[in-house]
Structure 1
């Protein structure tokens, strides 16, 4: 879980854990976010261990498409591919694991970072830091998010007791 604190030089920082469980500190300037996109959609209530409906699953593609449109329209097409992958993984996790009924996806600029936030309104859940076995069909999404964030000089984390997952990608890297 990410915990903000005053870092070096008075800048806000965030302590989060990587998927492998090792803590790392990410420093960010305290700036106001510039919102690029905010999308909300409802998902159907279902029993545990029942897969999401087809309609709920189609929201993942719709959010990827809206993400690309928002970034291209703001002159940021060079980061759209990575952002689409992150959005796909975070929205899928929210639909499959949250138990919430409403999902909110927000794209914003925070300094030189693109911030992707997915809030599922659920009661939160604990992320498993263990990588999946080779035969597992699921469980690689957050590892992919971490790899993209690392490659783009960013980070990711969870706030609000697990109901909000975020990822920041440095616009200057790449």
Structure 2
């Protein structure tokens, strides 16, 4: 009788990046997101796309909220990645609720980003404070199905 082969438990990778709306910000974000999942079972371009969509929204919300003196509030991007899931959290200084979603159809100039995110992710939610909000996204690893209990546990960790 053979003993079961166990994969050693590998702690999740945790990464954080603070961004401001400056030249090269999207290139820097893509490099950050890609590096966070390199070697893990994810399509790097999908993780980069989700990060870009969320950060673009955050920058748009921050631009409406910030004055010159408040430019000390950067956009925060936090990623936790392991072989089962990636948790991506993007924070901005605008506490206003997120829009309901896509209302413009296929030819709209804006409003389709969250629909793209929802197609690629297994869960998306937002948390709010008096000083801003954080949009959370969970992406399952290739071939991984996260149970409702696992998703709830991930949400409770935030």
Q: TM-score, normalised by structure 2?
A: 0.67
Structure 2 stretches lacking a partner, 5+ long: 1-10, 67-72, 145-158
Question: Is 1:164 aligned with 2:134?
Answer: yes
Aligned to 1:140: 112
TM-score under structure 1 length normalisation: 0.61
Where in structure 2 are the equivalents of 1:69-80 lying within 5 Å? 69-72=35-38, 75-76=39-40, 78-80=42-44
Higher mean C-alpha displacement, 79-88 vs 161-170: 161-170
* Structure 2 contact 102–112 (Cα < 8 Å) conserved: no
Identify the residue that residue 173 of structure 1 maps to in structure 2.
143
Once the two structures are superposed, what CA deviation does each residue of 1:145-169 show, in whole Å capped at 9, x if it has no partner? 00111xxxx2111112571111101
Counterparts of 2:41 and 2:30, CA distance in 1: 13
Say whether the 8 Å CA contact 1:35–1:106 is kept in structure 2: no
**Larger CA Rg, structure 1 vs 2:** 2
**For each residue in 1:87-128, what CA deviation from the matched residue of structure 2 results, as whole angstroms up to 9, or x when unmatched?**
010000000123353111011037821101101132233322
Question: Which structure shows the bigger proportion of residues in strand conformation?
Answer: 1
Number of equivalences: 124
Aligned residues of 2:54 and 2:135 also touching (Cα < 8 A): yes
Report 1:31-46 matches (<5 A).
34-43=12-21
Measure how far apart 1:59 and its partner are: 1.2
Runs of 4+ in structure 1 off by over 6 angstroms are none
Structure 1 contact 122–163 (Cα < 8 Å) conserved: yes
